Structures are given as C-alpha cells and as structure tokens.
C-alpha cells in the first residue's frame, strides 16, 4: 500500500499540548511540511517565544533557541549574523511581537535583517489566561477588557504587519489565516515564500497568521473559525502587504 499521508520528519512524535481547536498545532505542522519540502531541516534554526508556543522545541525536530518575551527578533538577528548561511525564523504570538517586542521587531525589519517571522495573531494573551492583547479588536471581550475593548479606555488595536510593510528593509509581508482548508494552504505557501525570501537574502520576511483560540474566545471550534472570517478579518484584512521578491509564480 502506498503511504499518502504522514507526520513531517521535522516534527517530533510528541503529542501537542495545545487546546482543542487551537491554530498552533496546525501551524506547527504546516511549518514542518515546508521544512521537509524545502529540505531545510539541517540548516534551519527556530526561535520560539514566551507564550503558548514556548514549548515549540518539544515538537520541532530542528535546532531551537528560546527567546525571552518579545526579544526573538533581536536574538534571531545575533544568530543570523553569526550564521549567515542558515535559515533563522522566529515564531511569536501577538503579545510577544506587537506589545513587548514591538521595538525589536520594527528595527529588525527596518535594518532588513534577513530573518523570517511567523506571527501568530489570536487577539489574546493565550498562555496567561486570555488577557487583552495589542491585537484585541474593539468590542472583543477579554479578562482585562471587561465588556469588550473600548477605544476610550483601552485604546485601539495595532496593525503591526501594515507598519512593518512601510519599513524599507522588509521584503515580504503577508497576512493569512488557518481557519479553513483553503486558508491553511495559502498559509503554507506564504511560509514557503518567506523562507525562500530569506534564502535569496532579500531582507526581512513575515507571515502573520490569524489563528483561532476557542478556549479564550469562549467559542467552539467552528464558531471560532467563523469569527475569524466574519469579524477578525475586517480589522486585519488577509493578503499580501508587501512583496519585493518579484516572484510571481506562487502569488495567490
């Protein structure tokens, strides 16, 4: 019998600790598939964050070096400058990248650091129990925005990827989602393109992935996927925000 589906070889045989319906496990798998397909396992180094994905090194069978909260882009900068022929990527949540790590991220992009960032946006601080994130949208209920986020009290959410697209040093920025099979495939393509951007030394690349957090959103899985389509994408529209790669063949 022909084997048509299996675990990517760059993903360890460890059961994920993520909640049911969480986007992280899907995204780990997609990244694993891309690493396998591009044959990167021996030259890639990942930088997991503080946040739900802090244990990513338990799942990826690649070299990984954990960063403190928000500092992944700085750490990856030091690492990539020391090993310019390796592929270095950071894997960060919205609180990590768009609140405490804003400065590190913007400056890595501005310098045009040749690294890739996977930015998982689920609009809440997941691991600490669902507090308001920099990307919590107006009206969204969290444990620290009771009654829903209000601009007069909590301020507006931040569209970090749009800001990074302005940076002269960024080469490829795209926002995708993992709430449907079609979006999952697009996300996989975007991650592959981001790694290619790095291989071609074109500058900073980032894929923002809108990802469901049913546990903290207090929704079931299907509701959460629907909420991304109906509410979240209105504030964070999907699509390519910047692309200087000139590679059109895999545009979508």
Partner 1 sequence: MRGNHIVAEAAVRAGCRFYFGYPITPQNEIPEYMSERLSKVEGGVFIQAESEIASIHMVIGASMAGGRAMTSSSGPGISLKQEGISFLSALELPAVIVNMTRGGPGLGNIAPAQSDYFQATRGGGHGDYRNIVLGPNSGQELADLTHEAFDLADQYRMPVVILGDGMLGQMMEPVQLPPEVQIKKLPHKDWTLTGAKGRPSRFLRSLILDPMEEEEHNWKLMRKYEKILKEEVKWEAFSVEDAKMIVVAFGIAARIAKGAIKRVREEGLKVGLFRPITLWPFPAKPLKELAKKVKHFFVFEMNMGQMVEDVRLALDGSGEVHFYGRPGGVILTPLEISRVISSYYYQKKL
The one among 36, 38, 57, 162 contacting partner 1 by CB under 8 A: 57
Q: Establish if 66 lies at the interface with partner 1 (CB under 8 A).
A: yes
Rounded to whole angstroms, the Cα distance separating 68 from 50 reads 6
Strands 116-121 and 204-210: parallel
Q: Which residues contact 21 (CB under 8 A, 6 or more apart)?
A: 212, 214, 215, 220, 221, 224
Q: Which is nearer to partner 1, 10 or 136 (CB)?
A: 10
Q: Establish if 41 lies at the interface with partner 1 (CB under 8 A).
A: yes
**Strand residue runs (E) in 108-190:** 116-121, 124-125, 131-132, 170-177
Q: Establish if 1 lies at the interface with partner 1 (CB under 8 A).
A: no
End-to-end CA distance of the chain: 34
Q: Establish if 61 lies at the interface with partner 1 (CB under 8 A).
A: yes
Question: Shortest CA distance to 190 belongs to which of 242, 133, 134?
Answer: 242
Q: Establish if 16 lies at the interface with partner 1 (CB under 8 A).
A: no
Q: Tell the smallest beta-carbon distance from residue 45 to partner 1 (Å).
A: 5
The one among 42, 151, 230, 250 contacting partner 1 by CB under 8 A: 42
Q: Establish if 154 lies at the interface with partner 1 (CB under 8 A).
A: no
**CA distances in angstroms from 10 to 35, 36, 38, 69, listed in the order given:** 7, 6, 11, 25
Q: Establish if 233 lies at the interface with partner 1 (CB under 8 A).
A: no
Q: Establish if 6 lies at the interface with partner 1 (CB under 8 A).
A: no
The one among 19, 55, 138, 199 contacting partner 1 by CB under 8 A: 55
Go through 220-244 and write b for each residue having 16 or more CB atoms within 10 A of its CB, e for each that does not.
eeeebbebbeeebbebbebeebbbe
Q: Which is nearer to partner 1, 44 or 213 (CB)?
A: 44
Rounded to whole angstroms, the Cα distance separating 216 from 17 reads 15
Q: Establish if 78 lies at the interface with partner 1 (CB under 8 A).
A: yes
Q: Establish if 39 lies at the interface with partner 1 (CB under 8 A).
A: no
Q: Establish if 129 lies at the interface with partner 1 (CB under 8 A).
A: no
Q: Establish if 240 lies at the interface with partner 1 (CB under 8 A).
A: no
Q: Tell the smallest beta-carbon distance from residue 100 to partner 1 (Å).
A: 10
Q: Tell the smallest beta-carbon distance from residue 55 to partner 1 (Å).
A: 7
Q: Which residues contact 48 (CB under 8 A, 6 or more apart)?
A: 54, 55, 56, 57, 64, 66, 67, 72, 91
Tokens 């495939």, located at residue:
185
Q: Establish if 127 lies at the interface with partner 1 (CB under 8 A).
A: no
The one among 7, 14, 39, 83 contacting partner 1 by CB under 8 A: 83
Footprint on this chain of partner 1 (rule: CB under 8 A): 41-45, 47, 50, 54-55, 57, 60-68, 71, 74-83, 86, 103-104, 106-107, 111
């Amino acid at each position: 019998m022909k084997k048509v589906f299996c675990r990517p070889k760059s993903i360890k045989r460890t059961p994920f600790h993520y909640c049911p319906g969480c986007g992280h496990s899907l995204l780990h798998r997609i990244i694993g598939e891309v690493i396998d397909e591009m044959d990167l396992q021996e030259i890639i180094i990942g930088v997991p964050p503080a946040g739900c994905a802090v244990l990513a090194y338990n799942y990826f069978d690649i070299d990984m070096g954990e960063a403190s909260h928000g500092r992944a882009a700085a750490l990856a900068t030091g690492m990539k400058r020391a090993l310019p022929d390796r592929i270095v990527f950071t894997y960060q949540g919205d609180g990590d990248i768009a609140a405490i790590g804003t400065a590190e991220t913007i400056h890595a992009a501005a310098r045009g650091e040749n690294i890739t960032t996977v930015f998982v946006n689920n609009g809440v601080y997941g691991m600490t129990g669902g507090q308001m994130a920099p990307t919590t949208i107006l009206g969204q209920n969290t444990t620290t925005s009771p009654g829903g986020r209000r601009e007069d009290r909590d301020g507006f959410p931040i569209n970090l990827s749009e800001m990074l697209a302005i940076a002269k040093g960024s080469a490829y920025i795209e926002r995708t989602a993992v709430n449907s099979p079609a979006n999952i495939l697009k996300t996989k393509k975007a991650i592959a393109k981001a790694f290619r951007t790095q291989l071609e030394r074109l500058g900073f690349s980032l894929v923002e992935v809108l990802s469901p957090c049913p546990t903290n959103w207090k929704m079931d899985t299907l509701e959460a996927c629907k909420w991304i389509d109906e509410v979240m994408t209105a504030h964070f529209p999907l699509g390519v925000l910047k692309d200087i790669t000139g590679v059109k063949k895999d545009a979508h």
